[in-house]
A and B are shown apart, each in its own frame.
Chain A
Amino acid sequence: QVQLVQSGAEVKKPGASVKVSCKASGYTFTRYGITWVRQAPGQGLEWMGWIRIYNGNTDYAQKFQGRITMTADTSTNTAYVEFRSLRSDDTAVYYCARGESNYAYLDYWGQGTLVTVSS
């Protein structure tokens, strides 16, 4: 069965960086994309960007350009998002999700990783 398992919770100071991983299993990793979505406490879902695994191409939301990098390791079926220059308002649960190729819907989700940014 399809599973996306994310790395554990992180606590970071403002200005630091964080790298969250998302290990995929149960499907052919290169046939889908991986999208990253975040959710601040009590707030809605925010699309951050996605990576097309087969060629490594990325699309990032404008507000995150320059602060995030999405990568994937096809040898371990793991996707990563690195987030730099963290601020307190980056405190959120970060989700990875499998992105279907044609309609780009998100059919399987990781369990979420809480990133807390606090001095």
Chain B
Amino acid sequence: DIQMTQSPSSLSASVGDRVTITCRASQNIVSYLNWYQQKPGEAPKFLIYAASSLQSGVPARFSGSESETDFTLTISSLQPEDFATYYCQQSYSAPYTFGQGTKIEIK
């Protein structure tokens, strides 16, 4: 199985901060990398697919990038509604494993 390692597991940030989350795949997954946001008590929300393609309706402050097996989710200016847990997922090879999550908390 492909292992997805996210870092950090949590971070504290303020409104307006630029935040970056990294996800590393244990092998080449080409660009088959997706990002989700989850708030407590809610189902995950889909943000980005194919490493950098923004889902319709997702604010442009969210962006994704890739460098070989390293993938990055960036929030350019953190908003109050962005405090949540973020997960990466590879969809290159089943089982389509998730990272362990990164929780963004209010500083």
A interface with B by C-beta (< 8 Å): 35, 37, 44-47, 49-50, 59, 61-62, 95, 97, 100, 103-112
> What's the Cα separation between A110 and B91 when bound, in Å?
19
Instruction: Among A46, A49, A59, A111, point to the contact of B43 (Cβ < 8 A).
Output: A111
Min CB distance, B37 to chain A, in Å?
11
Whether the pair B50, A103 counts as a contact (CB closer than 8 A) is yes
Interface size class of B (residues with CB under 8 A): 20 to 34
> What's the Cα separation between A82 and B58 when bound, in Å?
34
Known contacts A49-B95, A104-B96, A106-B34: A95-B87 contact under CB 8 Å: no
Question: Does B27 make an interface contact (CB < 8 A)?
Answer: no
| SS of B interface (majority) | loop
B interface with A by C-beta (< 8 Å): 1, 32, 34, 36, 38, 43-46, 49-50, 55, 87, 89, 91, 94-101
Residues of A within 8 A of B32 (CB): 103-104
> What's the Cα separation between A35 and B43 when bound, in Å?
14
> What's the Cα separation between A106 and B94 when bound, in Å?
14
Whether the pair B49, A103 counts as a contact (CB closer than 8 A) is yes
Instruction: Among B36, B95, B99, B100, point to the contact of A106 (Cβ < 8 A).
Output: B36
> What's the Cα separation between A49 and B101 when bound, in Å?
19
Whether the pair A104, B91 counts as a contact (CB closer than 8 A) is yes
